[in-house]
Structure formats: C-alpha cells, structure tokens
Amino acid sequence: MPNPHFINASASEPDASGNLTVSFKIAGLGSNVTTTITASASATAEYACRNKGGNFPSDPKKHQVSGPISASGQFTSGKNGQITGSLTLQPPSSTLECPTGQMRVLVSVTYNNVQVSEPNAGTESVPGC
C-alpha cells in the first residue's frame, strides 16, 4: 500500500550570513498532528581573517570546515492534515583565531544533499541542492 504522506521541499540561495532557508509542505498527516520535521545537509564553509579596512591580508589565515548540519522543529498540522513551514540551516562553525585587529568572516559556503524528513512522510531531497 503506498504511503499517503508526501513532502514537497525547496530552498533558495544562502543569505548574506550564509544561512539556507528550506521551505516545505507536508500533507496527509491528519488534523492537529504534532511532529518533528528535520532539514539536513552536507555543508562546506570557508572562513578567513579580514582587517578593519575590510581587506584580507596578503598572507591570509583561512580555515575550511565541512560536515553534516541539521535543524529541527516541532510543527502541528491544521484541519486539512498539512504543515507548511521552513527551517534554517547554518554554516558549520569555525575555530579560526584571527590576529589582533582582524576579525573572522565567512567567505563562502556550499550546501549539498539538502533533505527534509518527517517520521511518517519519509525523506525528500530538495531539488537543485
């Protein structure tokens, strides 16, 4: 018997802070069902030290960090048995220490294998991610 639940998910480009918002709609849950929804991905972030003038020194300190990331939340379906919402994935954090007068900044971030999951509906890959 086919699963009567389904997930439809999408994401846009990361914002200026490197955060990726994953939007989703899950149907077929029944009315007023509270469940945990999780967005997950593999992410790679590059951090560097930037001086107060906004420039990167000629010998920049850089740090690349990769790994799995996720965000979860509790959501409750409406009378129609659907949940529409979003979760935000954040870049992996860095332990890069910058010299005095410089600050750590996120230079770039990429997200791969972005997925949304719910225990009854299963897991759905986000197109284009």
How far apart CA 82 and CA 113 sit, in angstroms, is 24
Instruction: Give the start-to-end residue ranges of the domains of the chain.
Output: 6-125
Q: pLDDT category, 121, cuts 50, 70, 90?
A: confident
Whole-Å CA distances, 80 to 41, 53, 72, 126: 29, 54, 22, 24
- Is residue 2 predicted with pLDDT exceeding 60? no
Q: Does residue 93 surpass a pLDDT of 70? A: yes
Residues 6+ apart with CB under 8 A from 90: 18, 19, 69, 71
